[in-house]
């Protein structure tokens, strides 16, 4: 049972895939929410610590979503600084969004766990929403998922499930000190992802494997931000090497139900019209 009398919750990355969903769920429960983003007042910017104290003032709980990824250089220093400021501000609970198979992300988890504040970690696999809200939506619209060649299967997880786990950790008893490694209910190759997208969209979406180096060069030529290029280079070179090609029970342990399947996600997005190409 959710405890809605928990004070103000700061949601970092409040306009992102998980943060937006967490804000909506907390508000629906009647929990006061402070949005943590550069556009909010007070403003939160991972690259400008001077504004963090104002964001943490009067806050009891914090959802930590480091953008663009905890694997980025400097993430551990930023997380350590945030945890120290949160402790001084009297924050009672931290929920960290982490990534599977990322050594740097696990280092950040350890910083949070050692910070002297109650904590929960949500360690997630790749999001379903990468294909509808993230870097790959234009590929789906074009009908060609042009990504580095890989036969590695990934247990894509839905952002709605991540948000529900995070909200449970923020508002319910029994989640302190736990790491919920969350995945979807099955492993999928990119070819299988393309097949599911084709069925949902009612048109052909194909997976077009390209050499890793050519993919990264294409990103650079397209004008993608340097941090996005770095992140995708890192993720395709390391995390998709098979280390995460297994399922976990994090969603079931946290929520008592099975995670959402990719096919259900794809049907919902297709019905919304988000993948409908302009005439």
- The whole model's pTM is what? 0.96
Percent of the chain with pLDDT over 90: 87
Q: Is residue 209 helix, strand or coil?
A: strand
- Round to whole Å and give the CA distance between 140 and 151: 19
Mean pLDDT for the stretch of residues 114-136: 96
**β-bridge pairing 33-36 and 178-182:** unpaired
Please state, rounded to an integer, the average pLDDT across all residues of the chain: 95
Name the band, by pLDDT with cuts 50, 70 and 90, for residue 4.
Answer: confident
Residue pLDDT, tens place only, 217-230: 998 998 888 888 99
Identify the structural domains of the chain with CATH numbers, from first to last: 8-125+157-185+245-259 (3.40.50.720)
Mean pLDDT for the stretch of residues 103-115: 97
pLDDT of the residue at 279? 55
- Round to whole Å and give the CA distance between 160 and 166: 10
- Round to whole Å and give the CA distance between 44 and 48: 8
């Amino acid at each position: 049972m959710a405890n809605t009398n928990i004070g103000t919750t700061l949601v970092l990355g409040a306009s992102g895939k998980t943060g937006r969903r967490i804000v909506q769920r907390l508000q629906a429960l009647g929990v006061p929410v402070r949005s943590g983003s550069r556009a909010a007042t007070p403003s939160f910017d991972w690259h400008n610590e001077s504004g963090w104290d104002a964001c943490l003032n009067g806050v009891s709980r914090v959802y930590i979503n480091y953008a663009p990824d905890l694997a980025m250089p400097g993430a551990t220093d930023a997380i350590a600084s945030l945890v120290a400021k949160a402790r001084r501000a009297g924050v009672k609970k931290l929920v960290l969004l982490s990534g599977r198979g990322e050594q740097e992300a696990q280092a950040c988890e350890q910083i949070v766990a050692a910070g002297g504040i109650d904590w929960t970690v949500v360690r997630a696999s790749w999001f379903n929403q990468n294909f509808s809200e993230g870097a790959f939506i234009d590929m789906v619209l074009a009908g060609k998922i042009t990504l580095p060649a890989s036969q590695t299967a990934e247990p894509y997880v839905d952002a709605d499930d991540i948000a529900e786990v995070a909200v449970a950790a923020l508002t319910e008893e029994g989640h302190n000190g736990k790491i919920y490694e969350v995945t979807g209910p099955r492993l999928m190759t990119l070819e299988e992802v393309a097949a599911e997208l084709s069925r949902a969209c009612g048109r052909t979406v194909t997976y077009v494997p390209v050499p890793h180096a050519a993919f990264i060069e294409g990103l650079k030529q397209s004008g993608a931000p340097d941090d996005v290029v770095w992140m995708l280079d890192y993720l395709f070179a390391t995390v998709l090497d098979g280390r995460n090609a297994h399922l976990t029970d994090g969603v079931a342990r946290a929520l008592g139900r099975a995670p959402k399947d990719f096919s259900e996600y794809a049907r919902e997005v297709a019905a919304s019209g988000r993948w409908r190409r302009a005439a």
